[in-house]
A and B are shown apart, each in its own frame.
Chain A
């Protein structure tokens, strides 16, 4: 089969729409048909929702479908599945695993979460202590995970666990797909400084995972996890935004609508942040142009750093701009939201929520190390943990 071009994709999309008119087709049914037509993610292989086409042609399909009023798969709801689990399953899964998991993942029938971080393994993720012990055809998993978005909604989890504590920490880890309905899985909400609980703690007690749900070879889980983490940073920092589309938007609108709040100090700071937000937007635009042109640059690693700092500074300014109203908070009620909306709710919420932007998905400090060492080629700090068996590390 030859790889389709833009015209070919447009024709296939029109054929899909003709065979399954959105007006008279159920949402899930349409999405399944779209997956089977290879129009879900065109750069994926044929038979797995794609057509081996260039990734840059996906917008062609999306535009045709949007124009026809077709439903989408609500990507924000299944972001971890799409952004992290799917590329890892595609990269390391067996044929059976790809066939079993990718279609319900993309369609949104099965939500995914990520069981990586632990109370004792945050920035130093490779130090994780959740154990997976081989027992016949199964692995038996015990441990605790944390910062798990969507765990209370998820059917499946990508999980990394220690399978050999006698090896140095990066080498004794394996990667699994964990069934979140297993009786040994307990999910507890973890309340955050915003008052709500986007995240969860997940306790794993005697969870049995068949060896057929291991991703990649035993002991190579760290390498497999790199695929997941690279995709996480791209998906957190790479979204397209229009001018004034981010956090700066609400502040700029308040400034225009409420002259009584303006001060000279706030004006100078607002303009400086407005410029930085606009430049960050242009930097993201340039990054996407590089990707489309097939010249991906390392700029992606920087985007998350930039947006974390900007979101924090802008929302902090907004609380000050609002003065007396900035002293109020909309609602401290404990909730478990299905979607994370960084710009939702009031200024106080934005200020508090954005504090997480420099922690989640790699702290800004770790990202600066990554830029310094991998992009600039600066030497690593001397380390004393790389060749020591995991069981002998201090904790």
Chain B
């Protein structure tokens, strides 16, 4: 796991190229503190900050084929690289290293675009073809690893994190009002959105070719929710789930360094930990976030699971003060406006994990999307049948839906009936499943002084997707979750960006294509979906403690507005001062101030979810504006990643500074 960055045909003298790419890599050195390497010629420069996990000694980057025509910078892992390597060797390809990086490069050279569908992993990489003078960029199918690019200036540049663009000459960040409004209303960005003008996130499952004056983006793997085969019986379904998950975990344990597990206290990460212990040679280490607030804390279940498996466990206790103190640093790493504070504890957890000497962790993300774990799916089923279902059925369904939500009480049944009546028919084309959520998002969108439809981009995305209209209501909900909340927040802001801030790679067994395929084959085949993840629980019931396997979905959350109200940090001045707020021209400052005062004055129980979300959005927007647009107040923490490989093929290389010129390998 690493960070990559580079550019193509940047309008500057080639003598400046090395310093520019070094600057870009330095800005993301936290992703790869072990070493840095880069390639530079007269037209292109790109490099890697490396976190060494596989083939630690000979896997240095950039890496080329034996002819020196193709060069690769690579971030992430293709877990099935050993099988692909064997396949390529059988076809006569010769390898110089044991690394998966070289397998990816050789696969591209041998199969071209067709190799991408063979890859099982989380990755983003760049390949430069010197002979064709073209740059290829690729991102994995679920959006595990990031890859941003900009065509804002006269040249083209890309990076794992946008902060690398600070090093580009004459580059300025500018928040994109339309995108920000869209993010606020949807909770998360769409796959291509970055929140900044002229910066695009390469969507998951896509690749691109960059040549002189031309940038082409193509999809190699569209998200499919149709299973590859059918399952005849529930017993067969349980076997399939167990088999696919065990294989997925085994693949993700391929590493030359120790692999730990994040234990959330829920059933998904418990299954991952269980299967890890099945395979591990030594005692597994597990890591968790704990809270003082009993409503949020799951340490009881975390410890129960750790004791049950005999893992060496570390619980990292996070206070309100920690969240308020660390929020600016964490949002700097996240780079995208956030609607919750729950990513901040993950930032602290990654720091402790790394301090404990662990570079790789497995976690349970992706289970709720694959096996229908969210209330959203049940809500969608219920709303779709609302106008035709008998009253007693509706009541029974509502009781199943909301037992854990303390703020809905039995006497609220009439109110909820009224609410569901409002949302029983599709109002926003294609987005029926998410309309209740989007309704709450409209409140956050009021932060922006704009009359535009905040859902325009989302509507256009689903309208332009082949096959989307034919999906069932629940499949549409799943599809949207994979494309928005999962990729746009859980895997990124709360996931990858937080672990990589401290040089920790996270791997998600539930995002193996074979696991997703199995889930699609069994979902709603043997039950009505109103006991979330029933088959997944059933598959591991006999191997997990009852308290874990029967635990209802407990959304991982952290103290939101309350964390800032308890001990207001200095930077809240960004929201409380009229002069500060007025520097963000697109904000409705009157609404922003009213909201801030209300959230800071009210206790946690008096602040609604929508108010908390909107407050967190406002705070992150203001901090991102200060750090990225104004380039002020950035975290001081800097990571040094020593430069160990330089490939300098510039025509005037002898006279240029390239810091330890490694010279040509051709």
Do these two chains interact?
Answer: no
